[in-house]
A = this chain, B = another copy of it.
Amino acid sequence: MANPTAAMLVIGDEILSGRTRDANMHYLAGELTKQGIDLNEVRIVSDDAPAIEAAVKALSDTHDHVFTSGGIGPTHDDITADCIARAFGAHIDVRADARALLEVHYEKSGLELNDARLRMARIPDGAELIDNPVSTAPGFTIGNVHVMAGVPLVFQAMVASVLPSLTGGRPLLSQTLRVDRGEGDIAATLAALAEDFGDLSIGCYPFQTNGVFGANVVVRGTDGGRIDAAMIRLAKEIEL
């Protein structure tokens, strides 16, 4: 059986302007790979309601799971929850269960639970809350979309809350062979290998270090024995 598929939607002007380097995508990619869920696509859009709504709809229709990051804080540019609600045609307002979480948290911290902070309790009807052990304000899952914070520590905690509940597939395994030759020299060998091992993915990633060209050949798949077989043949054929 094929692994479940996933897409990620990163929301935030600060990534697209080059101000911030996204860290969540790389993290999620690694976690999904371990769990046997195939991340097939990532989109990054700005804090723009129609763009967020259209992207969520498109990705939700074509993947088993969608993970979003960013735009669920207390400020005016945090519009993700409302956009997702619209994409699913769901009513959204401050919800009692989320509000209760925030009340306890701000009571303890001595900060005021003002209108801005209450925005973080806006949860669509029918959504399930995602636990946030770092800063309390929850994410949520609606349909096949998991809505999470953009701050990396919080994002990672929410991923840890969500992933155990998802049915994974066979973890993607990989082995890498570094070859200190130009990839043009080994391309024919790799093409034949990819042909004979159609169940594996054979990738070739060139690099250049101190003027020397080389390539990392990465063999990926879910069957460790097949990966071993491909690596043994590869090592023989390129005569390391």
Max chain B C-beta neighbours (<10 A), residue from A47, A51, A191: A191
Q: Check: A235 CB closer than 8 A to any chain B CB.
A: no
* Cβ-defined contact, A151 with B17, below 8 A: no
Q: How many residues of A contact B (CB 8 A)?
A: 70
A189 → chain B, closest Cβ, in Å? 9
Known: A13-B220, A76-B187. A40 touches B51 (CB 8 A): yes
Out of B39, B41, B202, name the residue touching A51 (CB < 8 Å). B41
* Cβ-defined contact, A43 with B42, below 8 A: yes
A97 → chain B, closest Cβ, in Å? 19
CB<8 Å pairs between A and B, sample of 21: A14-B218, A16-B29, A16-B40, A16-B42, A17-B172, A17-B174, A18-B26, A19-B174, A40-B45, A43-B44, A73-B206, A74-B183, A74-B184, A75-B190, A76-B202, A111-B182, A111-B184, A111-B185, A115-B188, A116-B183, A151-B207
